[in-house]
């Protein structure tokens, strides 16, 4: 019971810290479907671990009806979890979510196998998953990584990386020195790199350089 209360308090603190629109913790308790969903899940998961199946599944179904968020009672979710808005979120049975993770609405942590095995993703600590992203299969998303909005992840993601696209690819990573302190997760979605735009800009620069060299070589007196 003590661990349950601590987990709920930490989830509440996470929502208060990560949503600039919130005005009070009472508002979170009364009005935040993401908080309601994780509250119901922590109860259903506790019952699920006792070997019961039907009751926790029914509780998760009630949670889905109330919040629009579907979390299988078998999913393992650590403290400090925050679901922003939440509508359309699906978290599969064998998903594992570490400490202080954040996911936005429309996110799917899905499986790609019909076998009774680890078939859903693992999010390590401090992972952020953007709006509408899909992580499919038993892949590991390394700590402090960011999944860009609308991305489809079908492979492991190393720690401290940002991935975007369909299928998702790494567009940036953080190289840490041995004694460097851990950086906080960034919520600035508009700062995600755009590798296609960067490639186009590099090509334009090369064309301009080539045109300049051609004009220099064709100039009279050279």
For residue 214, the enclosing domain spans 194-222
pLDDT for the residue 95: 96
pLDDT for the residue 194: 62
Whether 58 and 113 map to the same domain: the answer is yes
> Does residue 193 register a pLDDT over 70?
no
Whether 84 and 168 map to the same domain: the answer is yes
* CA 33/CA 36 separation, integer angstroms: 5
Interval 20-34 mean pLDDT: 94
pLDDT for the residue 178: 46
Contact 69, 63 (CB under 8 A): yes
Model-level pTM? 0.79
| Residues 3-13: tens digit of each pLDDT | 889 999 999 99
Whether 187 and 198 map to the same domain: the answer is no
Whether 99 and 133 map to the same domain: the answer is yes
Interval 68-84 mean pLDDT: 96
Whether 67 and 167 map to the same domain: the answer is yes
Whether 31 and 45 map to the same domain: the answer is yes
CATH number at residue 132: 2.160.10.10
Whether 125 and 39 map to the same domain: the answer is yes
pLDDT for the residue 113: 85
Whether 35 and 90 map to the same domain: the answer is yes
Whether 133 and 212 map to the same domain: the answer is no
pLDDT for the residue 204: 84
pLDDT for the residue 183: 47
- Please give the tally of structural domains in the chain: 2
* CA 169/CA 161 separation, integer angstroms: 10
């Amino acid at each position: 019971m003590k661990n349950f209360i601590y987990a709920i308090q930490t989830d509440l603190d996470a929502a208060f810290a990560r949503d600039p629109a919130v005005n009070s913790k009472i508002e979170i308790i009364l009005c935040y479907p993401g908080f309601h969903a994780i509250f119901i899940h922590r109860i259903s998961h506790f019952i699920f671990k006792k070997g019961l199946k039907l009751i926790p599944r029914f509780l998760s179904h009630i949670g889905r009806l109330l919040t629009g968020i579907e979390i299988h009672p078998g999913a393992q979710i650590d403290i400090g979890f925050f679901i922003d808005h939440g509508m359309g979120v699906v978290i599969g049975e064998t998903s594992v979510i570490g400490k202080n993770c954040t996911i936005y609405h429309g996110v799917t942590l899905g499986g790609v196998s019909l076998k009774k095995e680890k078939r859903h993703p693992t999010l390590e600590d401090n992972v952020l998953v953007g709006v509408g992203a899909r992580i499919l299969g038993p892949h590991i998303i390394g700590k402090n990584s960011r999944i860009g909005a609308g991305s489809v992840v079908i492979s492991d993601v190393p720690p401290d990386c940002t991935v975007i696209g369909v299928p998702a690819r790494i567009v940036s990573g953080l190289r840490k020195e041995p004694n460097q302190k851990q950086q906080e997760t960034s919520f600035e979605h508009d700062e995600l790199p755009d590798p296609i735009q960067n490639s186009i800009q590099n090509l334009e620069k090369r064309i301009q350089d080539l045109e300049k060299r051609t004009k220099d070589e064709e100039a009279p007196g050279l």
